[in-house]
């Protein structure tokens, strides 16, 4: 899900107005509010957009800012449990602080390879601006010992005179989230004379600020006193502290180093080294061109992949890379934890020499973290998968989120990428791949299933340690109980987001479809909340043109489909465009029929939502059949249309369901019309589906598979109305009583008694 994760501070300061709208409507990832015009052309300010959103929503999905949120409307933030970043930020720093407070080893919060592993890197740009690509988290030089510093933020090569102010205590600073033992230097001018040394923080005060620096013991200087481009290595000291180099004042002089980083300025702790040079007036200072850390995760081109042994029957042969192999690969070194005798997550030269597993070559344990190279987000991603079975991780994350949610004023948070775990969609292993904590190969079905269960259990326990917050999950469109669904998430949360779930041309069955929407009723029965998001994909807008009429008709159809599966206390509707980027900014002619309208105002079918249908009646008129409910199953062979029940029942049953049956809240949706022709048993080729409400009825006409542009032109069907009813137009206007209505392909219709 591509999202606008920035949540407007203006929005957060205004969340005080109680919602008064009848229908359950959710706003997804609001933010970036700006001045625009409403649908009538009246100018509207950013503040007025916020007020409008608050008065027209019942749930805010995706609040994410460091502000206090005060509202009676339930709101959830944003979280990831299956990863922490190697390039640590405020979240990682705070979790690490909590772990230290309780004497817990932060490195135990991660999964690690126990053997050297080569894995595919589908997108080599992911992580390119991070430690994964040898780039320091922060680097710069200073004018004196307490100067905030000049950041080296531009892409190299540079021509930086980093030691210009050495006589006043000026130096070069390099920051890393973990301990490291080597730095590679490239120079635009080599040194002539003088000498250099490297220091590290060895003491800090109660505020975690550096109070003492000590000299590193250089084990190998391949730069030969900065006279050639090479690396400098040192012995890792036992008293190297993770510290802050700034006093929090934000002062340019006198407060210490932060190089423009708000994270370091505000007390973020990192491992840092200070490189100093000193010389006589006649000596020539070195000038810096580039700095890189050790290549902990070397990239391997396809043609450089090693041959690997494969067993064919009783014979062993070698396998060479095929032309179809991925272009780029990465090596992650395994860590032999049994060799780490003092358990400091680092193998000293002696420990490394005496290790029993020669196929595990990492010196630092962090170098063996399980990282989904090329399968993250972008160039700033540096994912390290977490050990979700570790009770310390649950405790620290629970503590962090409890405080964080209270500070924000939100009721919980949601996890967006629930399918980015340990499966083959994330890991393509060429060799190695054994994970110490899982005891399985990354990308294998075994590893995937174990980690899925740990992921679900973690989320479930998170609701316990934080007094039952809203734990949200983006679960996609497939029925959770079917063979394509994420069944491990059934009990993992209590708020489920179904992104791009309802199309204006939603069909009866197939991969999804109305006959398979019953898992929403099961989730509602269990007390969970479900957001059903509608999209204009496969609607009149993309098929026939971006005009007002097509937009109104598409929004009418998606709302009608939602009402067929609506449970008043549990389900929420959200209408969006055909894209995956969210926010409260204005529309353009690319994503709406009219430009400069705030998006949530544009897409929400407000006139239709203001029609008070009342609660579902819970009954099917005499003489009509309830909808057939279906499930994609695995046995005895893959079957997409296994009948498991109907919409009048409080349970569905099938041998592949948990304990053979699942309880649900019945919708009592029914076939108002169905063609004689059936595609499969219980699945008509053409149908009008209806549902009774306290004050009216909702109709929707569809075919079996849906998404068929030709079906929009299908001959209209006449439906007798007894007693007569009042139709609601697409603009929300209520007509006069009629005793017959015609309905076209993929048309939604609300009728009032």
What pLDDT, on a 0 to 100 scale, did the predictor assign at position 257? 97
Beta-bridge partners for 100: none
Q: Write the burial class of residue 310 (CB in 10 Å: 0-12 exposed, 13-18 middle, 19+ buried).
A: exposed
Q: Which of 723, 714, 722, 710 is nearest to 743 (CA)?
A: 714
The distance from CA 386 to its chain's CA centroid, rounded to whole angstroms, is: 14
Q: What is the dihedral of CA 395, 401, 406, 409, to 10 degrees?
A: -160
Average pLDDT score over residue span 21-33? 84
pLDDT band at residue 3 using 50, 70 and 90 as cut-offs: very low
Q: Is the peptide bond before 636 cis (omega within 30 degrees of 0)?
A: yes
For 348-386, letters b (16+ CB in 10 Å) and e give beebbeebeeeebbbbbbbbbbbbbbbbbeebebbbbbb
What pLDDT, on a 0 to 100 scale, did the predictor assign at position 10? 40
pLDDT band at residue 16 using 50, 70 and 90 as cut-offs: very low
Identify the structural domains of the chain with CATH numbers, from first to last.
9-81+391-417+437-609 (3.20.20), 135-293 (no CATH)
In 435-538, alpha helices (H):
445-465, 518-525
Mapped onto helix, strand or coil, the DSSP state of residue 658 is: helix
CA distance 702 to 700: 7
What pLDDT, on a 0 to 100 scale, did the predictor assign at position 8? 42
- Contact indicator for 565, 531 with CB cutoff of 8 Å: no
Q: Write the burial class of residue 572 (CB in 10 Å: 0-12 exposed, 13-18 middle, 19+ buried).
A: buried
- pLDDT, tens digit (0-9, with 9 covering 90-100), for 336-357: 999 999 999 999 999 999 999 9
What pLDDT, on a 0 to 100 scale, did the predictor assign at position 307? 83
Q: Who's near 262: CB < 8 A, 6+ residues apart? A: none
Other Cβ atoms less than 10 A from the Cβ of 715: the count is 8
For 504-526, letters b (16+ CB in 10 Å) and e give bbbbbbbebbbbbbbbbbbbbbe
What pLDDT, on a 0 to 100 scale, did the predictor assign at position 14? 42
pLDDT band at residue 326 using 50, 70 and 90 as cut-offs: confident
pTM attached to this predicted model: 0.89
pLDDT band at residue 68 using 50, 70 and 90 as cut-offs: very low
Check pLDDT > 50 for residue 333. Answer: yes
Average pLDDT score over residue span 186-197? 98
Which of 2-6, 583-587, 692-696 bottoms out in mean pLDDT, i.e. has the lowest?
A: 2-6
Which of 46-60, 94-108, 319-333, 392-406 bottoms out in mean pLDDT, i.e. has the lowest?
A: 319-333
Check pLDDT > 90 for residue 510. Answer: no
Check pLDDT > 50 for residue 53. Answer: yes
Where is pLDDT greater, at 68 or 90? 90
- Contact indicator for 480, 490 with CB cutoff of 8 Å: yes
Q: What is the 8-class DSSP label of residue 444?
A: S
What pLDDT, on a 0 to 100 scale, did the predictor assign at position 316? 47
What pLDDT, on a 0 to 100 scale, did the predictor assign at position 13? 39
What pLDDT, on a 0 to 100 scale, did the predictor assign at position 313? 44
- Number of H-type helices and E-type strands within the chain: 12, 43
Average pLDDT score over residue span 488-510? 96
Mapped onto helix, strand or coil, the DSSP state of residue 550 is: helix
What pLDDT, on a 0 to 100 scale, did the predictor assign at position 653? 97
What pLDDT, on a 0 to 100 scale, did the predictor assign at position 70? 54
- Contact indicator for 73, 60 with CB cutoff of 8 Å: yes
pLDDT band at residue 129 using 50, 70 and 90 as cut-offs: very high
Where is pLDDT greater, at 319 or 486? 486
Check pLDDT > 60 for residue 90. Answer: yes
Q: What percent of the chain is modeled with pLDDT above 70?
A: 94
**Please, what sign has the CA dihedral across residues 345, 349, 354, 356?**
positive
């Amino acid at each position: 899900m591509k999202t606008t994760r920035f949540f407007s501070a203006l929005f957060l300061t205004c969340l005080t107005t109680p919602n008064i709208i009848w229908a359950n409507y959710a706003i997804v990832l609001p933010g970036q509010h700006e001045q625009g015009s409403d649908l009538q052309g009246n100018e509207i300010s950013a503040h007025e957009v916020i007020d409008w959103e608050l008065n027209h929503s019942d749930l805010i999905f995706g609040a994410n800012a460091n502000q206090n949120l005060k509202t009676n409307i339930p709101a959830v933030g944003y979280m990831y449990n299956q990863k922490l970043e190697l390039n640590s930020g405020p979240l990682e720093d705070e979790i690490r602080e909590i772990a230290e407070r309780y004497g817990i080893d932060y490195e135990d919060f991660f999964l690690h390879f126990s053997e050297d592993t080569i894995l595919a890197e589908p997108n080599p740009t992911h992580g390119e601006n991070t430690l994964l690509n040898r780039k320091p988290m922060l680097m710069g030089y200073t004018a004196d010992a307490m100067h905030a510093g000049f950041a080296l933020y531009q892409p190299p090569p540079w021509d930086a005179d980093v030691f210009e102010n050495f006589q006043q205590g000026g130096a070069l600073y390099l920051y890393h989230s973990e301990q490291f033992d080597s730095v590679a230097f490239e120079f635009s001018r080599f040194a002539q004379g003088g000498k250099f040394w490297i220091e590290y923080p060895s003491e800090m005060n109660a505020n975690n600020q550096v109070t003492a620096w000590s000299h590193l013991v250089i084990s190998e200087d391949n730069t030969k006193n900065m006279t050639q481009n090479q690396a400098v290595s040192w012995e890792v000291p036992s008293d190297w502290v993770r510290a802050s180099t700034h006093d929090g004042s934000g002062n340019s002089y006198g407060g210490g180093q932060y190089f423009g980083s708000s994270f370091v300025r505000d007390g973020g702790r990192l491992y840092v080294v200070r490189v100093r040079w000193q010389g006589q007036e006649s000596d020539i200072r070195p000038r810096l061109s580039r700095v890189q850390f050790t290549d902990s995760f070397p990239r391997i081109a396809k043609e450089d992949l090693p041959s690997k042994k494969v067993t064919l029957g009783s014979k062993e042969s070698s396998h060479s890379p095929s032309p179809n192999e991925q272009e780029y690969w990465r090596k992650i070194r395994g860590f032999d934890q049994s060799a780490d005798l003092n358990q400091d997550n680092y193998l000293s030269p002696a420990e490394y020499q005496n290790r029993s597993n020669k196929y595990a070559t990492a010196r630092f344990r962090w170098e063996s973290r399980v990282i989904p190279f090329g399968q993250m987000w972008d160039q700033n991603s540096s994912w390290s998968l977490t050990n979700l079975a570790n009770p310390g991780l649950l405790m620290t994350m629970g503590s962090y989120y409890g405080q964080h949610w209270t500070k924000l004023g939100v009721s919980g948070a949601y996890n967006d990428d629930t399918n980015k775990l340990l499966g083959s969609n994330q890991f393509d292993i060429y060799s190695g791949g054994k994970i110490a904590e899982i005891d399985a190969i990354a990308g294998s079905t075994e590893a995937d299933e174990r980690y899925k269960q740990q992921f679900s259990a973690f989320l479930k326990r998170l609701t316990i340690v934080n007094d039952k917050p809203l734990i949200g999950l983006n679960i996609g469109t497939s029925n959770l109980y079917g063979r394509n669904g994420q069944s491990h998430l059934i009990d993992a949360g209590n708020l489920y987001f179904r992104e791009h779930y309802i199309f204006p041309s939603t069909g009866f069955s197939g991969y999804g479809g109305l006959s398979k929407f019953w898992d929403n009723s099961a989730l509602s029965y269990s007390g969970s909340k479900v957001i059903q998001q509608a999209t204009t994909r496969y609607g009149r807008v993309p098929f026939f043109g971006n005009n007002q009429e097509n937009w109104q008709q598409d929004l009418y159809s998606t709302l009608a489909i939602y009402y067929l599966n609506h449970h008043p206390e549990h389900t929420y509707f959200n209408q969006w465009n055909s894209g995956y980027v969210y926010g409260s900014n204005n529309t353009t002619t690319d994503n709406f029929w009219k430009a400069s309208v705030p998006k949530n105002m544009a897409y929400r079918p407000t006139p239709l939502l203001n029609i008070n249908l009342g609660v579902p009646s819970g009954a099917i008129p005499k003489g009509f059949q309830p909808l057939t409910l279906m499930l994609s199953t695995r046995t005895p062979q893959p079957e997409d249309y296994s009948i498991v029940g109907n919409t009048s029942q409080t349970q569905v049953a099938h041998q592949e369901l948990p304990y053979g049956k699942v309880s649900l809240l019945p919708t009592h949706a029914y076939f108002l019309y169905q063609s004689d022709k059936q595609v499969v048993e219980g699945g008509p080729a053409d149908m009008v589906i209806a549902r009774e409400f306290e004050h009216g009825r909702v109709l929707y006409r569809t075919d079996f598979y849906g998404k068929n542009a030709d079906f929009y032109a299908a001959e209209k069907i006449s439906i007798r109305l007894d007693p007569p009813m009042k139709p609601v137009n697409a603009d929300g206007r209520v007509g006069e009583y009629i005793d017959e209505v015609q309905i076209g392909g993929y048309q939604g219709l609300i009728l009032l008694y």
